[in-house]
Chains A and B, each alone.
Chain A
Amino acid sequence: MKTNDVILQTTTKVVFFIIFLFSIHIFFAGHYTPGGGFVGGLLTTGAIVLLLLAFDLKTVQKALPFNFTIMTAIGLLLALGTAAGAIFFNVPFFTHAFDDFTLPLFGVTSLHTAMVFDAGVFLVVVGSAITIIQSIGGDS
């Protein structure tokens, strides 16, 4: 029997954005405070799982038309590329670099290549977790 989930669905539409925003915050906070790519990725996964609980698999696939397998691959490539980029500058594998830049709005920001590696971790976590959930949940 299909019950009327109007309360769950309306609340999800609001809460999804708050969780997603928090996951972005956690992702960027990772360098100086607790957080990082892994928790950020898991929080994003949690937000998408909430969507999957409130709506059905097809609706979510239509709303987020990403191929999560390819997302995992892109994440792995990003992580490997950041690590391998170091050997072009005559430093050992996995050596990171950073510098201070003056960005509009942000002011002086310290940009670190570890963040690109973290973005790779983020994409791998989101991609693999959602792939697992979608393939368990789908019936075809």
Chain B
Amino acid sequence: MAFQILLNFFIAVIWMFMNSSLTATTFIIGYLIGLILIIMTRRFFNSRLYVWRLWSAIKLTLLFFKELALSNISVLMLVIRPKLKLQPMIFALPTELEHDWEITLLSSLITLTPGTIVLHVSDDQRTLYIHAIDVDDVDEAIDSIKNSFEKAIMEVSRA
């Protein structure tokens, strides 16, 4: 994917030299033309088009904001209840993510959504230990994280 972005930049720079105008406007036009060329020749690359990856990164960001709003509301509901009947819990989340940055991203996202905190990453980086404020069903909590954040991160990192 880095190669595709670099190629797109090169095409844009060559376009700037062809037009002998070194301005931002020419660069953007050249970049868009390069994008069309790369989409046309997409079968020659052995990885996905980087546009899709960019798109899934945007989707991950939107998903995070949605989860942030929803879980803020649910924690607010917990806090304003007259009688606190919580069931706090520490559970292990098995993860399929491999790279360091993926695990860091996943644990940051889990920590930033209220109600859940990552306590520890196991030494083989296969398990995250998570503290949650109110859990009825462990499997459900694991599934909800796996289906939302982990899936979205894997979508971004897939080659």
Interface positions of A (Cβ within 8 A of B): 3-4, 6-7, 9-11
Contacts and interface: CB of A to CB of B under 8 A. Distances in A.
Contacts of B103: 6-7, 10
A9 B122 CA distance: 15
B107 interface: yes
A18 to B, nearest CB: 15
A11 B108 CA distance: 10
Interface of B: 100-101, 103-104, 107-108, 118, 120-123, 125
Main secondary structure of the interface of A (DSSP, over half): helix
B102 to A, nearest CB: 9
A137 B101 CA distance: 29
B122 A4 contact: yes
A7 B108 contact: yes
Contacts of B118: 7
Contacts of A3: 120, 123
15 contacts: A4-B121, A4-B122, A6-B104, A6-B121, A6-B125, A7-B104, A7-B108, A7-B118, A7-B121, A9-B100, A10-B100, A10-B101, A10-B103, A11-B104, A11-B108
